[in-house]
Amino acid sequence: DLADIGVTGLATMGRNLARNLARHGYAVAVHNRTYGRTQQLVKEFGGEGTFVPSEDLAAFVASLKRPRRAIIMVKAGAGTDAVIDQLADLMEPGDMIVDGGNAHFDDTRRREAALRERGLHFVGTGISGGEEGALNGPSIMPGGSKESWEALGPILQDISAKVDGVPCCVHVGPDGAGHFVKMVHNGIEYSDMQLIAESYDLLRQALGATPAELASVFREWNRGELDSYLIEITAEVLDQVDAETGKPFVDVVVDQAEQKGTGRWTVQSALDLGVPVTGIAEATFARALSGHPEQRAAAASLQGPGLSGVGGRELVEDVRQALYASKIVAYAQGFDQMAAASREYGWDLDLGAMATIWRGGCIIRAKFLDRIRAAYDANPALPTLLADPTFAAALDAGQEAWRRVVTTAVQIGVPTPGFSSALAYYDGLRRDRLPAALIQGLRDYFGAHTYRRVDKEGSFHTDWSGDRTEHPA
Ligand code: NDP
C-alpha cells in the first residue's frame, strides 16, 4: 500500500515527526541517508502505526500516494539543497516538498521559485517545540501555495499542538513566510530568555538570593501574567543541584551562551527592514559578549560601583513588573518585524493568527499570546502593540517599577541590556519630540542631506558654509 506522507531525515526531529504522523493514523514513508536510522525507527517504534521504510530516495518517492507529500528533516543548509534536488528529480508536477528544517527564509524563497518553475510545490515550514514537540504536537508554521495548504493543512493541523481545541498551525503565507515567522519566533525566544536571565542575575546579586530561592520566585511568577513555558522551566533549572559537587547546577555550567544563528538572522533581517528589534539584538549581543572569555578575563579588573546588596523584598515585585513590561516591548518589536516583512514581500500575514499558533507546542508558548491575539482582534491595523489599551495599561502600571529596576542595576553594576534597551525603546516611542531633529541638522550641515520642517511642506537645506540662509532643496 502507498503511504499518505513521507519523512526523509530521521534524526531527532524527523524520527519524532514520523512517529507523530503514524500515531495519528497516517501511513508514513520513512527514509534516511544512512539506512541504519530507518531500520532503527521501524524496529523500535514500528508498533505505533504504519511505517513504509525505503533504503533509497527513489523507492521512498515511489512509495508515496499522489500527489506526493514529502517532508525533509535534514540538517539545514547544503544538505537540504542536495536532498531537495534529488527529490525534485524524482517527483512529478503537483507533488509537494516540505522543508521542516530551520532554513533561512531567503533560501526558502529561492527554492520555492525554482521548484514552482518545475510545477512542484515547495512548502518551507517552521516547526517549533524541539524533540518533545515534534512527537507530541509542535507549533507548525507552513508557507507555500494555497494548493499545497489544501493538501497538507489538514495533516499538519492534525499533528500540531492544540490549545482550547484550536490547532497551533495555520497557513502563514506564500514562499518564505513560514520560515520567516519561525525565525522571528526564535528571535523572540532569545529575548524572553535574556530577560529571564537578567531577572535572575539582578535578584541574585542585589538580594544575595540562592538559585533555589529564586526558583520559588519564578514558580510564583508562573501563576500570574508571566505564565509561560520558559518561566516554568527556569524554576526547574534553578532548582537543579549538581550530583557531583552538590552545588547549584547553574553554578557549574560554563557561562558562555551558544547560538545556532536564528537570533542573528532575525537581527540581520530587521536591519534590512529598518525595524528596531532592540530586545532581540541585545539578547543576541549579550550571548556574543558571554562567549569572549579572553576579553572578559582582560576586563575583569576594571572597577565597578562598590555598591551591592541594595533593595529588599520589594525588588522582587519590581523585577516581575520590569520583566513583563520588557516582554511586551520585545513582542511588539517582533510583531512589527513580521508586519514590515509582510509589506515588503507581499505576504499578507495575519498577525493575530501568528500569536494563536504560538500559544502551544513551541518554546515561547504563554498565556500572554492570548492577549496579543485579542489586541489584533480588536484592531487589526494596530500600529504597535504598545498602543493596545490592555498593554498600554500594563506598561503604565509597571513603568515606575521598571525604572527602579534599571536604576538599581546601574547602581550595583549588574548589566541589564534587555531591561534597559526595552525601557529606552518605550521612552523613545512615547516621546513628543526626539533628538532626531538634531541629527537631521547635523546631516544637513556636513552632507547637505536636507531636512523637512514642522511648519511647511518640502525639503530644505541651510547654506552652512555660506550665509546660513535656508533654501528649498
Ligand atoms: P540534524 O540537524 O542533526 O541533522 C541530521 C539529519 O540530517 C540526519 O538524518 C542526517 O542523515 C541528515 N543529513 C545531513 N546532511 C545530509 C545530506 N547531505 N544528505 C542527506 N541527509 C543529510 O537533525 P535534527 O533532527 O536535530 O534537525 C533536523 C532539522 O530540524 C534541522 O534543520 C534543524 O535545524 C531543525 N529543527 C531542529 C529542532 C531541534 O530541536 N533539534 C527544532 C526545530 C527545527 P544521516 O543520518 O545519514 O547522517
- What is the per-residue pLDDT across 108-126, written as a single tens digit (0 to 9) for each? 999 999 999 999 999 999 9
**pLDDT mean across residues, the chain:** 97
Residue 300, pLDDT > 80, answer yes
Average pLDDT over residues 274-290: 98
Mutate to test the pocket of ligand 1, among 75, 102, 111, 141 (most ligand atoms within 8 A of CB): 75
Q: How many Å separate Cα 259 from the centre of its chain?
A: 13
Q: Calculate mean pLDDT across residues 244-265.
A: 96
pLDDT at 265 over 90: yes
Most distant CA atoms of the chain, gap in Å: 87
The residues, ordered by sequence, that sit 6+ positions from 200 with a Cβ below 8 Å of its Cβ are 211, 214, 218, 234, 238
In this predicted structure, the answer to whether residue 232 has a pLDDT above a threshold of 90 is yes
Report pLDDT for 234. Answer: 98
The owner of cell 500540531 is 160
pLDDT tens for each residue of 135-162? 999 999 999 999 999 999 999 999 999 9
Residue nearest to atom 7 of ligand 1 (CA): 74
- Within 300-435, residue ranges assigned H as helices are 314-345, 351-357, 368-378, 389-412, 417-430
For 69, the enclosing helix (H) or strand (E) is strand 69-72
What pLDDT score was predicted for residue 63? 98
Ligand 1 pocket test: pick from 7, 17, 54, 73 the residue with the most ligand atoms within 8 Å of its Cβ: 73
* Predicted confidence (pLDDT) at residue 307 exceeds the cutoff of 80: no
Shortest CA distance to 184 belongs to which of 263, 76, 84? 263
Sequence length of the chain is 473
Which is it for the CA torsion 88, 92, 93, 97, positive or negative?
Answer: negative
Contact 327, 334 (CB under 8 A): no
| SS3 (DSSP) at 409 | helix
Of 132, 150, 182, 317, which one is the catalytic site residue? 182
From the candidates 112, 189, 198, 282, which is the catalytic residue? 189
Q: Which residues contact 465 (CB under 8 A, 6 or more apart)?
A: none
Q: What separation in Å is there between the alpha carbon of 290 and the centre of ligand 1? A: 27
Question: Alpha-carbon distance 50 to 19, whole Å?
Answer: 9
Burial class from Cβ neighbours inside 10 Å (0-12, 13-18, 19+) for residue 36 reads exposed
Pairing of β 69-72 and β 166-167: unpaired
Q: How confident is the model at residue 277 (pLDDT cuts 50, 70, 90)?
A: very high
Give residue 312's pLDDT band: very low, low, confident or very high (50, 70, 90). Answer: confident
Task: Please list every protein residue whose CB sits less than 6 Å from any atom of ligand 1.
Answer: 9-14, 32-34, 37, 73-76, 79, 82-83, 101-102, 127, 130-131
At residue 313 the predicted structure's pLDDT band, cuts being 50, 70 and 90, is: confident
The answer to whether residue 311 scores a pLDDT higher than 80 is no
DSSP string, 22-73: HHTT--EEEE-SSHHHHHHHHHHHGGGS-EEE-SSHHHHHHTBPSSPEEEE-
Query: How far apart, in whole angstroms, are the C-alpha atoms of residue 337 and residue 187?
Result: 11
pLDDT tens digits, one per residue of 355-411: 999 999 999 999 999 999 999 999 999 999 999 999 999 999 999 999 999 999 999
* 182 is an active site residue: yes
Amino acid 105: pLDDT = 97
The cell for 401 is 517599577
Supply the pLDDT for residue 18.
Answer: 98
Residue 426, C-alpha cell as written in the block: 518605550
Number of Cβ within 10 Å of residue 120's Cβ equals 22
Closest CA to 105 of 262, 273, 336: 262
pLDDT digits (tens, 9 = 90+) for 442-464: 999 999 999 999 999 999 999 99
Rounded to 10°, the helix 177-207/105-117 angle is 170
ipTM, two decimals, is 0.97
Q: Give the distance (Å) from ligand 1 centre to CA of residue 49.
A: 23
Which grid cell sits at 456? Answer: 511647511
Per residue in 234-243, pLDDT tens? 999 999 999 9
Please list the helix, strand and coil fractions of the chain in percent, rounded to the nearest 5, in that order.
55, 10, 30
Q: Where is average pLDDT lowest: 78-82, 106-110, 295-299?
A: 78-82
Cell triple for 233: 522551566
Residue 260 bears catalytic tag:
no
| Protein residue whose Cα sits closest to atom 32 of ligand 1 | 101
Per-residue model confidence (pLDDT) at position 76 = 87
